[in-house]
Amino acid sequence: MIELLFNNPLAFFLVFGSVLLSLTFHEFAHAFIADKLGDPTPRSQGRVTLDPRAHLDPLGTIALLLTHFGWGKPVEIDPFNLKNPVRDSALIALAGPASNLLIAGLLTVLFHTLSMPEILMSIIKNLAIINIFLAVFNLVPVHPLDGSRVVLVILPRTLALEYQQFMDRYGLFVLLGLLIPWYNGSSPITTLISPIIDFLTRTLFG
């Protein structure tokens, strides 16, 4: 993304700023739902806010600039504060991807209803696709992604416990393995989520 700064500074600030806001909304959604479900941890840490400074991870922001891939500061929760820890943790996890899909939907409405220069339409479409990517990527059921908590609701109790124990111990290594490009230059996780992203993009934009 950094090359865009030199080629088109205006587009860079629009895209980079919008991506940071998307990450902010994603983490805020986690914190907001956790707070509503009875866990005061995010509020005590100042995370129930739309102020980007509360949600952006310095290393993740730098990575976004350099590699087109970044992350926000994870929202900490305490399951013991939740009435139904497994179900409520899944709802908190779903809130982040849901916020990105909501943003993508709003951007799609703007794309189809407003008359604007072609470059702005291109930026809006790309931002919607970025939010679709954030939603789908985070739903992959591998720790520390949101999907690793969502899948626990679906699995039988015994299997869910074994899966959680495995992911808590090895999830990060599994994720890194999925992100590394294989012999054809494409990573396994790209192969997994690309058809879903393409389907959603075609559905929204035709």
Q: Quick check: is 76 catalytic?
A: no
Token pair in block for residue 74: 């994870």
The count of domains in the chain is: 1
For the chain, the 3-state helix, strand and coil shares in percent, each to the nearest 5, are 75, 0, 25
Report how far residue 149's alpha carbon sits from residue 147's, in angstroms, rounded to the nearest whole number: 5
> Tens digits of per-residue pLDDT, 92-101?
999 999 999 9
- Per-residue pLDDT at 2: 65
**Residue range of the domain that includes 110:** 2-205
- Mean pLDDT, the chain, rounded, equals 90
In the 8-state DSSP scheme, what is residue 52? G
Does residue 144 surpass a pLDDT of 80?
Answer: yes
Does residue 169 surpass a pLDDT of 90?
Answer: yes
Least confidently predicted of 6-15, 91-100, 130-139, 164-173: 6-15
DSSP lists the bridge partners of residue 72 as 56
List the catalytic residue out of 27, 76, 118, 162.
Answer: 27
Least confidently predicted of 37-51, 62-76, 98-112, 160-174: 62-76
